[in-house]
Chains A and B, each alone.
Chain A
């Protein structure tokens, strides 16, 4: 008998149809992955099982957990089920824990609300569970607060809360999306081990097809609230009967062809750069210590070259990016663009600043919602001494919007009228409009769905041949960096540990850290889509 049986589940929130007749089955000990792009309804499916849907949601069909119908279950009984029979792990470990309670209290709470026992006994159980998820109390006392732990450690606490009572079903909603690749590999291992050890069923929601292919016994692909294809993992990977599935897998592994770079001529020279941050004083009159975010970094970026910068969170990539933009002073070494320093002692060198532009990760947060697209796109004009006006200005706007695949008519619209991918196109238009010598892409495609990401990568490749772009592409996503750069820098703890031609570094990594990174990144298996 199946553990979870979802039959013809439809869901609407107010007038919007979110899910349309979704069917899904999970057996004990089985990992079922639900995948799809944003808006596919995969998270809503998970929340429907927990009955934690947003206000105004109406569900029909049937969700049976261990033979018990959930959709008609009264809230009081649902509370008894949540945390005991079904555990849930969320995407964002940084905010999923209450910041003002200790991790011990939070794990004990799950146990105490469901089972009558003394606090001492509950604490004992909490210790066992935390040890099981890799946080032994002798190294991570129960009195720790969430802010004293890293993202991966916090996710372990969330997992401990979810499995404390050995639920029959564990729901994991993008459990590793916010984590670094090496941490992701550890958390996925932990989840897999727990499923085997406890015989739980697991419903895993993720957009990452490489993770899906690696983890799941059974894959369900969703789009616009509908299941388009569902099959055991091996059969799905080799068969792929639905075109959307094929498109999804092809886009995840999208490769572009960059035009050959021109002969090397240095544009950006970073020489022996050190960036320290002062730490708070530990004693009143003691000299404050410092944290070295960038540690003697040197590299050269040639004109027309596409350079990648990879590394995990906290490795110093963002600090280095800010230093290159001249937004921060460096403690030693220097950064020169076309022979001139980027930082003139007090602020960014304006002469140099207008030759660099940046595209950020978040297509939603990086635009002022009250400005129209023409104003947003022409923002970099303030860096120029004589910004174009009148028809010259509107010509430039039209040219740029066309170049990034939008229409010149879009100039009069507001940013909320565009999708995430279109916004990222506008961000690229904004960066290109003053024809900078160097563009920095700071995780510029990380927040996008795979199909949109593939389009943006195509756009970049096309712009490379049209505008001779030189860029520094900063990302944690190795597969993207592999296809969109000529050369790559690998950064760890503030140092560049390896650099070289991208293909060379990826196929034959020299440094142990690079090898660990590449090994930890989940790989898409050879699929029917690739062969097709």
Chain B
């Protein structure tokens, strides 16, 4: 198990190094001058020269790459050109909204999806299964921003249980913070839950047809006992894969929901930075998201091994 973890960790480090090279290459080495791109075609030559010095474009590419990477390792992501504030500070502020939101949504989606999937699998072809499958069909088909607007309409405008948008801030306390993230988290979670429930159901149905499930029944386990004791853990591998993918998506892909609820999250930061051609911010946020995705994959790999002994011994 230790060797497996170390190997996965090594592959994580290599992936990060390659990702940083690719991001750097795409943004810095791509044809055209980043400074004139950022300032637009009508820039004054002296402003351009000043920005070039600030970006370090007078240095060699290798030097720039090394200083970018070592800077990030120290937590120094440079200074945003448009906002004139340290990028690390901007990211940290946004991350305090996006990360809890993603985790909140993921927790909701898992909490809805796994029981629903197990329920449907255990009642294959019966009304309960059909109801769950119908609901997930709807959840997959309807876009999350529509859910978001409906939630605002019902719970914020009519019932007035929640605010229609904005983020209270964690300084008002955990409950207040979570309260303002609840509607966005639900809107994000519903379509994800629909997908996850379908995956859970089909994974479990595959397992129910396995020989060892028949063996379990021949031992005298009831259908339900066999499902819980022998089916569930075997069905978890595909479910874990989807959960990993969903977390990555929730962290970076919630831009529309952030827009609907007016949340200061990472998605909006990237969007604003791209619109303002603030390459320093774009570069750093993209690197951060890559880091998050790769780390989640690492954790999923560890979870695989915890679930399935065959992976542990394969190193």
**A-contact 0/1 string along B178-217, CB 8 Å cutoff:** 0000000000000000000000000000000011101111
CB distance B230 to A101 under 8 Å? yes
A82 to B218, CA, bound (A): 6
The winner among A92, A95, A100, A161 for most chain B CB atoms within 10 A is A100
User: Is B308 among interface residues, defined by CB-CB distance under 8 A?
Assistant: yes
Whether the Cβ atoms of B309 and A79 lie closer than 8 Å is: no
> Is B220 in contact with A80, judged by CB distance below 8 angstroms?
yes
**Cβ < 8 Å to B, chain A residues 82-103:** 82-84, 87-88, 90, 92, 95-101
Q: Is the interface of A mostly helix, strand, loop or mixed?
A: mixed
The chain A residue with its CB closest to the CB of B10 is A284
Query: A83: nearest residue on chain B (CB-CB)?
Result: B220
* Whole-angstrom CA separation of A173 from B97 in the bound complex: 59
Q: Does B314 lie at the interface of the complex (its beta carbon under 8 Å from any beta carbon of A)?
A: yes
Taken together as a complex, chains A and B put the C-alpha atoms of A281 and B6 apart, in Å, by 14
Question: Once the chains bind, are B234 and A52 in contact (CB under 8 Å)?
Answer: no
Q: Which of B222, B230, B307, B315 meets A98, CB within 8 Å?
A: B230
Mask of A138-164 contacts with B, CB within 8 angstroms, 1/0: 000000010110000000001001100
What is the bound-complex CA distance between A158 and B214, given in angstroms? 12
B74 at the interface (CB under 8 A from A): no
Bound complex: CA of A316 vs CA of B184, how far in Å? Answer: 60
Question: How distant is the Cα of A96 from the Cα of B307 in the complex, in angstroms?
Answer: 19
Complex Cα–Cα for A396 and B278 (A): 70
Can you list, as one digit per residue, whether each of B230-245 has a CB less than 8 Å from chain A (1) or not (0)? 1001100000000000
Kindly state the separation between the CA atoms of A341 and B220 in the bound complex, as whole angstroms.
58
Contacts of A328 in B (CB 8 A): none
User: How far in angstroms is the closest Cβ of chain B from A156?
Assistant: 14
Select from chain A the residue with minimum beta-carbon distance to B7.
A284
Do A75 and B222 touch (CB < 8 A)?
A: yes
A40 CA to B183 CA in the complex, in Å? Answer: 60
* B234 / chain A contacts, CB cutoff of 8 Å: 98-100
**What number of B residues sit within 8 Å (CB to CB) of A?**
24
Of all chain A residues, the one with the shortest Cβ separation from B229 is: A109
Q: Determine the chain A residues whose CB is within 8 A of the CB of B309 once the complex forms.
A: 99-100, 145, 147
B233 and A52 form a contact (CB under 8 A): no
Given A90-B214, A148-B313, A158-B215, does the pair A99, B308 have CB atoms closer than 8 Å? yes
Chain B residues with Cβ below 8 Å from A162 are 218
Is A262 interfacial (CB 8 A cutoff)? no
B221 within 8 A of partner (CB)? yes
Q: Mark B279-315, 1 if CB is under 8 A from A, else 0.
A: 0000000000000000000000000000111100111
Selected contact of B222 from candidates A79, A84, A101, A161, CB within 8 Å: A79
Task: Mark A60-78 against chain B: 1 for CB-CB distance below 8 A, else 0.
Answer: 0000000000000001100
- State whether B212 touches A79 (Cβ < 8 A): no
In the complex, which residues of chain B have a beta carbon less than 8 angstroms from the beta carbon of A113?
219-221, 225
Chain B residues whose C-beta falls within 8 Å of the C-beta of A158 in the assembled complex: 215
Most buried by B among A80, A98, A281: A98
| Distance from A320 Cβ to chain B, minimum over Cβ atoms (Å) | 26
Contact of B219 (CB < 8 Å), options: A76, A95, A109, A280? A109
Is A161 in contact with B215, judged by CB distance below 8 angstroms? yes
Q: List 8 A-B contacts (CB under 8 A).
A: A79-B222, A83-B219, A83-B221, A99-B234, A100-B233, A109-B229, A147-B313, A161-B215
- A-binding residues in B (CB < 8 A): 210-212, 214-222, 225, 229-230, 233-234, 307-310, 313-315
Other CB < 8 Å A-B pairs besides A145-B310, A147-B313, 14 of them? A50-B218, A82-B217, A84-B220, A90-B214, A92-B211, A95-B212, A99-B308, A99-B309, A100-B307, A100-B309, A110-B219, A113-B221, A161-B215, A280-B314
